[in-house]
Amino acid sequence: MSAQPSARRAPRPRLAVLCSGAGTNLQAILTAIRRGRLRARVVLVVSDRPEAPALVRARRARIPAIALPPMASSSRAAYDAGLARAIRRAGAAWVILAGFMRILTPGFVRRFRGRIVNVHPALLPAFPGARAVRDALAHGAKVTGVTVHLVEARVDQGPIVAQAPVAVRPGDTAATLLARLHRVEHRLYPQAIQWAVEGRLRVRGRRVTLRG
Ligand code: GAR
């Protein structure tokens, strides 16, 4: 009789984390893994910015970390082909976007279809794009929040896995609001990644439900 490996002994899902900036979400993922709240392994960190603090965090945690500056590629497709090669070489099954400020090409999204996850600092579909926190403030929103979603070719439009609201306070600046958004992201994102990698997400069109 062939024994099924128990969940505990089964190999940990392998994640490639893509970052452009501070890497606080990367750090939250690493902490969640260390504390056993996320059963996965980060096998590669990639940044498009060689000076990104996220790379320093990764190296400190002894995770292979590479900078892929866009200038070295002739086109977005060539850049994403190089990115996909690095991810494949690392044996990563999941692509985790943690503040990666580049738009992925449809070819890249197809290649990792259903296995690319993103965190966004607004309640999508409100305030998509790279200036979500400033846009929410400028719009006078009373509530904004955090969205975790699966990535599709259209920017910030994939099926929503999880959302959490954050109140905008009078006198908030982008920095104070972002600090509160980060606290929510750091709790919500590792949890949503755990659901994704353990196969609990059922995706029907735009609707994502949680199995079990
Ligand atoms: C996060 O707040 C994330 O939601 C945002 O970038 C920040 C990265 O912070 N992503 C986007 O705006 C994507 N459109 P971090 O580097 O400290 O994790």
The one-digit pLDDT tens for each residue of the chain (212 residues) are 444 556 667 899 999 999 999 999 999 999 999 999 999 999 999 999 999 999 999 999 999 999 999 998 999 999 999 999 999 999 999 999 999 999 999 999 999 999 999 999 999 999 999 999 999 999 999 999 999 999 998 888 999 999 999 999 999 999 999 999 999 999 999 999 999 999 999 999 999 999 98
Atom of ligand 1 nearest to the CA of 27: 18
- State whether residue 43 is helix, strand or coil: strand
Which residues, in sequence order, are CB contacts of 163 under 8 Å at separation 6+?
A: 123, 124, 145, 146, 147, 148
**Can you give the pLDDT at residue 2?**
44
Q: How far is the CA of 103 from the centre of ligand 1 (A)?
A: 13
Residue 212's pLDDT is 86
Pocket of ligand 1 (CB under 6 A): 19, 21-25, 54, 98-99, 119-121, 130, 132, 182, 185
Instruction: Please say whether the beta carbons of 147 and 119 come within 8 A.
Output: yes
Alpha helices in the chain (DSSP H): 24-34, 53-60, 76-89, 106-111, 132-139, 174-197
Per the CB < 8 A criterion, the answer to whether 188 and 148 are in contact is yes
The answer to whether 127 and 168 are in contact (CB under 8 A) is: no
Question: How many CB atoms are closer than 10 A to CB 44?
Answer: 21
Q: Which two tokens stand for residue 120?
A: 């966004």
Among 182, 184, 186, 188, residue to substitute to test ligand 1 (most atoms within 8 Å of Cβ): 182
120 part of the active site: yes
Give the number of the atom of ligand 1 that is nearest the alpha carbon of residue 156. 14
